[in-house]
Amino acid sequence: MAVEVGDEAPDFELKDQHGTPVKLSGFRGSKNVVLVFYPLAFSGVCTGELCAMRDDFPEVSRDDVELLTVSVDSTFTHRAWADAEHYEFGLLSDFWPHGEVAKAYGVFDEKMGIATRGTFIIDKNGVVRWRVVNPIPQARDIAEYQKALAELD
């Protein structure tokens, strides 16, 4: 079942690339969350998308915005990737139970065992205000995220 605009975002707790637990509901009341699911670290399209978020998404430095990215990769893979690409935002591991959070959001490809390219903007109250889900090979447009966040202000 896919999460739709207007739904309460399913809560979760996953470890980031440093092994630190990150709980979605921990941002309630203080930050809008840009939740980005991607298939696999170190792959071409995923690297391009996350580098674009690093370089062309200044909203990530705002006090009221948190960027969280999620894949089924391990925390060790995320740490190596973050170090190689200088990512400073959270890379969360949905490794075990395998893809559980991606499944909760309706963006897990059972046949391939990875997340599709789903993005959800969740407001400070924990409600999904915008979403886009692209097929695995199709990159997303960061300008769409920026527009959706601007509408929350």
112 assigned to some structural domain: yes
Specify the pTM: 0.95
- How far does CA 90 lie from the centroid of its chain? 8
Q: Which of 46, 101, 102, 149 is catalytic?
A: 46
Tell whether 131 is covered by a domain. yes
CATH code (residue 110): 3.40.30.10
Question: Is residue 153 over pLDDT 80?
Answer: no
In the chain, the number of structural domains is 1
Would the pLDDT of 41 be above 90?
A: yes
Residue 19: exposed, middle, or buried by beta-carbon count in 10 A (0-12, 13-18, 19+)? exposed
**% of the chain residues with pLDDT over 70:** 99
Report residue 69 CA to chain centroid gap: 3
Structural domain containing residue 142:
27-152
Task: Verify whether residue 51 is a known catalytic residue.
Answer: no
Residue 2 lies in a domain: no
Residue 109 within any structural domain of the chain: yes
In a domain? residue 20:
no
Which residue would you say has higher pLDDT here, 100 or 144?
100
Q: For 10-31, how does the pLDDT look when each residue is reduced to its tens digit (9 = 90+)?
A: 999 999 999 999 999 999 999 9
Model confidence at 139, in pLDDT bands (50, 70, 90)? confident
